Structure 1
Amino acid sequence: MNEDFARNLRLLCSYYKSIAEVCRRLDINRPQFNRYLSGRYRPGDGTLRRLCDFFGVEVHEIMLPSAQFERLVSVRPRPLHAPEAQTAEARHLIHLKEIGSTGLDRFLGSYFETYLSMACPGKILRTLVTLERQDDGVVYQRTERLIEHPSEKAYHGVYRGVVHLLTDRIFLNDYETLTGLEITQTILFPSFKNRVSRLTGLKLGVSGSGERMPCCARVVYEFLGPHIDVRKALRLCGLYDMDDARIDSATRQAIRNDMAPGEWHFRARY
């Protein structure tokens, strides 16, 4: 029985690039797998079911006489590749998506994100953020529009990430798509009103200047709507002076990075 099983297992492995790839995707020890291939050992019931699930066959099928099994496999759809085994990182992300996607639909749409620039101290930075649902999760794009010199065209930095709603807090995690050298996290207070207008919170990231200093800043999200003219919105994004009248006084007050007497931690403001 083990000899037929071993031949059948070797046949299934032949549809892959190497035995090493099969072991990697199954997350199984190579010497242990070699014992199965040699016919000296038969895997336990749990391991056997995992092997069959991976290759897309039934337990009773993989135990068939090898000639019969080969005919069976020859008429099955090819290739017999199973999905990549989930990495530890993927399992955590899937779990977060499962527990943190409910309740976000009311926050979908576009926002002006405003905070004190980390790369240009003393300046206010406004970016455009758009949250949308894809499949069973919520993702977003954050676009920076910067003009380094009046005679030059605007530069657009694009960040993409995922959104989770966990215990009445909205968590946004993104990465910079051009170089992949920066990850940013933002935590917002959700709006408990019927109509979403403004969200406030804290933003943690790395300064885009040469020193690349980790920084934390208060941030305001101003809801623009579910459908907007993106070009017009982007033209209103960029760097502003602290006293620029185009930034309303409530927003300027909400993004001030000061600490009140008796505060031991840098905290978000409602």
Structure 2
Amino acid sequence: MNEDFARNLRLLCSYYKSIAEVCRKLNINRPQFNRYLTGRYKPSANTMLRFCDFFGVEEHEILLPHNQFQRLIKVRPSKSTFVEAELPEFTHLRRLQQIGTAGMDRYLGYYFEYYLSMACPGRILRTLIHLVRQGDSIYYQRTERLRERPNEKSCHGIYLGIAYFLTDRIFMVDYESLTGHEITETILYPSFRNRVSRLNGLKLGVSGSGERMPSCMRVTYEYLGSSVDTHRALSLCGLYELDSDEIDLSFKNAVINKMDEGEWHFRARH
């Protein structure tokens, strides 16, 4: 039975671009999923239910002899294939995925992000960014740590997003995953040096609280490396006064939102 199930599972996965994509969408560990693909283990009842819901089949069907299951699938498209065919945005997202990931690998890793806070005007916000490749796409997590007053408990905001490298610019779009109240877009200049150290650009979004006025601000990224002590890095995130000695002067100057005489648009500083 495990062998038939494993072959049936491999057949269902073949309708996707990669095993990594299936694991990401199922939110399952790749080594564990490989054990099911090889027939070494049978999933638990809960995991089997997740598989069936995802692929659009019944449990008794996925356990059928492989030849019988293969005939069944050939005449009945999977639920995931049917849904994807109905949603026009999938076509556009696939195209961006195909053209927008080349050249991004050198930018993977951890960054401190600096910009003037929308929620607390006049103060610099430092957040932690982690850019990572998963399958054929580049994803990132942006983590905020906010404490407006010294005696208050810190609160965290977690933003999940996707990044594309399109004609010498890095485009990043994320949403606030805990409440779903906001979407943010960031556009960065890439680094043309041998070693990535800093990326500058603009950020567009709204404050998570208060008047929620759409705002645009300068932003700069400080590269930290491919791996960091995340607990230590997050402890350094938060709000800082403009005259704080804990923020390097070059970062302060990079995020000041001033327009020069004769400028008609708010522009990034390269």
TM-score, normalization by structure 1: 0.70
Q: Distance in 1 between matches of 2:224 and 2:164?
A: 20
Report the equivalent of 1:187.
Answer: 187
For 1:119, give the aligned amino acid. Answer: A
Q: Per-residue deviation at 1:149? A: 4.4
Aligned residues: 199
- Structure 2 unaligned blocks of 5 or more: 1-66
Q: Per-residue deviation at 1:259? A: 0.4
Report the equivalent of 1:131.
Answer: 131
**Partner-residue secondary structure (3-state), 1:164:** strand
1:225 equivalenced with 2:208 (yes/no): no
Q: Distance in 2 between matches of 1:149 and 1:257?
A: 24
Q: Distance in 2 between matches of 1:148 and 1:199?
A: 27
Q: Distance in 2 between matches of 1:255 and 1:137?
A: 29
For 1:251, give the aligned amino acid. Answer: F
Structure 1 segment 1-270 matched on structure 2, within 5 A: 75-77=68-70, 78=72, 80-82=76-78, 83=81, 84-86=83-85, 87-270=87-270
1:131-169 deviations in whole A, cap 9, x for unaligned? 000001100000000124434432110000000000100
CA RMSD for the aligned pairs? 1.8
1:28-50 deviations in whole A, cap 9, x for unaligned? xxxxxxxxxxxxxxxxxxxxxxx
For 2:169, give the aligned amino acid. Answer: R
Q: Per-residue deviation at 1:210? A: 1.7
Q: Distance in 2 between matches of 1:118 and 1:153?
A: 20
Q: Distance in 2 between matches of 1:156 and 1:95?
A: 33
Q: Distance in 2 between matches of 1:249 and 1:152?
A: 27
1:4-36 deviations in whole A, cap 9, x for unaligned? xxxxxxxxxxxxxxxxxxxxxxxxxxxxxxxxx
For 1:75, give the aligned amino acid. Answer: Q
1:72-99 deviations in whole A, cap 9, x for unaligned? xx93345644223331111111111111
Q: Distance in 1 between matches of 2:84 and 2:228?
A: 40
**Partner-residue secondary structure (3-state), 1:76:** helix
**Partner-residue secondary structure (3-state), 2:69:** coil
Q: Distance in 2 between matches of 1:263 and 1:142?
A: 31
- Structure 1 unaligned blocks of 5 or more: 1-73
**Partner-residue secondary structure (3-state), 2:91:** helix
**Partner-residue secondary structure (3-state), 1:208:** coil
Q: Distance in 2 between matches of 1:189 and 1:237?
A: 23
Q: Distance in 1 between matches of 2:68 and 2:199?
A: 57
Report the equivalent of 1:59.
Answer: none
Q: Distance in 2 between matches of 1:136 and 1:191?
A: 22
Q: Distance in 1 between matches of 2:156 and 2:200?
A: 24
Closer/same/farther in 2, CA of residues 243 and 149 from structure 1, 3 Å limit: closer
Q: Distance in 1 between matches of 2:202 and 2:151?
A: 34
Q: Distance in 1 between matches of 2:68 and 2:124?
A: 65
1:91-149 deviations in whole A, cap 9, x for unaligned? 11111111100000000000000000011101100000000000011000000001244
Q: Distance in 2 between matches of 1:120 and 1:217?
A: 13
For 1:261, give the aligned amino acid. Answer: E
Q: Per-residue deviation at 1:253? A: 0.7
Q: Which has the larger radius of gyration?
A: 1
